[in-house]
Amino acid sequence: MRVVRSALIFSVLSLAAAPVLAQDFSGAVKARQGQFNIMAINLGILGGMAKGTTPFDAAALKRSADTLAAVSMIDQTPLWPKGSDNMAIEGTRALPAIWDNPADLGAKWAAFGAAVPAVQAATDPATLGAALGAIGATCSACHDANRAPG
């Protein structure tokens, strides 16, 4: 009887575990990579102005800087489900270290948001360049321990 009960519990547990094992993280991974791609496109527009490869354009600066501000407000919590690291799934460079200290990811993301107002306030290539340097430092601060090399 006991054996039967154990077997029953085991099979129920297996059923419960099955959806977890088959869990699909592609939505979360696409979403988080998408937000980084939006960042990259707008940093590219701003970086071109800072480097002088494109003319300085205050209106374009405002659009891109405001977009960065908007991205910085995206709640990261649902984008980093446990188990969506590069040891567990393909198509990500997110290191398992992220889930050792999830609060740290939130703090690093907040630091990115805190660096955006200086970009919005930039008035010429020099001030923009300095503000982008500060943004880059916040990217690196997180990538250092949390992102594998490509």
Partner 1 sequence: MRRLIRFAVGLVALAALGGLVLTRPAALPDAAFAGVTADAGRGAAVFWASGCASCHVAPASAATDRPILVGGQVFPSDFGTFRAPNISPDPVHGIGAWSVSDLGNAMIHGVSPDGAHYYPAFPYTAYQHTTLQDVADLHAYLLTLPPDATPSMAHEVGFPFNIRRAVGVWKLLFLKDDYVLTDAATPQIDRGRYLVEGLGHCAECHTPRNALGALDRAQWMKGAPNPSGPGRIPAIDPVSLKWTEQDIAYYLETGFTPEFDSAGGHMARVVGNFARLPASDRQAVAAYLKALPG
User: What residues line the site for partner 1 (CB under 8 A)?
Assistant: 39-41, 43-44, 47, 51, 86-87, 93, 95, 97, 132-133, 135-137, 139-141, 143-150
Q: Where are the alpha helices (DSSP H) in the chain?
A: 2-21, 26-51, 58-72, 97-100, 102-120, 125-146
Residue 114 half-sphere exposure toward CB, CA atoms < 13 A: 8
Q: How far is the CB of 87 from partner 1 (least distance, A)?
A: 7
Taking the least distance from each CB to partner 1, the nearer of 97 and 118 is: 97
The candidate with the shortest Cα–Cα distance to 97, out of 109, 111, 85, 80, is: 85
As measured in angstroms, the least distance from the Cβ of 47 to partner 1 is: 6
The least CB distance from residue 44 to partner 1, in Å, is 4
